A = this chain, B = another copy of it.
Amino acid sequence: MITQSTVEKFLDDLASGAPAPGGGSAAAIIGAMGAALVSMVCNVTIGKKGLEAVDPEMKSVRELSEKLRRRLTALVAEDVAAFEGLMAAYRLPKLSEADKLRRTEAIQTTLRAATETPLDCARACAEVIGLAQRAGENGYAGVISDAGVGVLAAHTALRSAALNVYINAPSLHDREFAQQAIAEVEQLLEAGGRRSEAVYALVRGRSG
C-alpha cells in the first residue's frame, strides 16, 4: 500500500520515471489532505469555549470529512491499480485476430476503470469543497486559514482528477458513458471552481 510508505519515499516514487504513482495518485493524496484540514478545523473548534453553538455543525462536518478522507486515501491505491491494469492491457499480444479482439476488450474494460477512478476522486473532492465552506464559515478563527488551504487542496485535486477523465474518456467505445463522465466532470469543475474561490475569499477576510 503506497499510503503506508513514508512521505519522503512517496515523493521519491512520484519523481521517478516509473509510470505509477503519477498525477492520479498525487490528486487523491492532495484531496485527502484537503479533507484532513477540514477535520482539523472541526477538531480544534469542537469544545472550544464560546463556540458551543457550532458544535453540532462541526461534528456533522467532521463525520463527512473523515469519511471522505478515508475514501480519498483508498483511491490512491485504486488509481495505481487502474493505471497498471490499463498498461497491462496495452501490452497484451496482438498477433492473431483473436488476440486483437481480446486485447481491445481488455483495453476497454481497464479504460473504463481508469475513467471511473478519477471521476470518483473528482466527486469526493467536490464534496470536500462544500465541507471546507461550512468549516470556513463556522470554524474557530485561529485555524480558519487551514480551511483555506483545505479548499485549495480539494480544488486542485478535483482539477487534477478531471485531467485524467479528459485523457481516458475519449478512447472509450461506450460513447454514452464517456460523454456522461465528461459532462459530470465539467459540472463538478464549474461548481467547484466558483465555490472554492468564494471560500478562499471568505477565509482571507476572516484571517486578515
Q: A-side interface residues toward B, CB under 8 Å?
A: 2-8, 10-12, 14-17, 19, 22-23, 26-27, 29-30, 32-33, 35-37, 39-40, 43-44, 46, 65-66, 69, 73, 76, 143, 145-146, 148-150, 152-153, 155-156, 159-160, 163-164, 166-167, 170, 200, 203-204, 207-208
Contacts and interface: CB of A to CB of B under 8 A. Distances in A.
B148 A163 contact: yes
A175 to B, nearest CB: 16
A1 to B, nearest CB: 8
Q: Give this chain's copy count.
A: 2
Contacts of A208: 166-167, 170
Given A145-B163, A152-B160, A163-B145, A37 B26 contact: yes
Contacts of A149: 22-23, 26-27, 160, 163
Given A2-B7, A22-B146, A163-B203, A153 B30 contact: yes
Given A14-B37, A163-B203, 13 more contacts: A4-B7, A6-B6, A11-B32, A15-B35, A15-B66, A16-B40, A17-B40, A30-B33, A145-B164, A145-B167, A153-B160, A155-B156, A167-B208
B37 A22 contact: yes
A66 B11 CA distance: 10
B73 A8 contact: yes
Shortest 7 CB-CB contacts between residues of A and residues of B: A23-B149, A17-B43, A15-B39, A15-B36, A14-B36, A156-B156, A149-B160
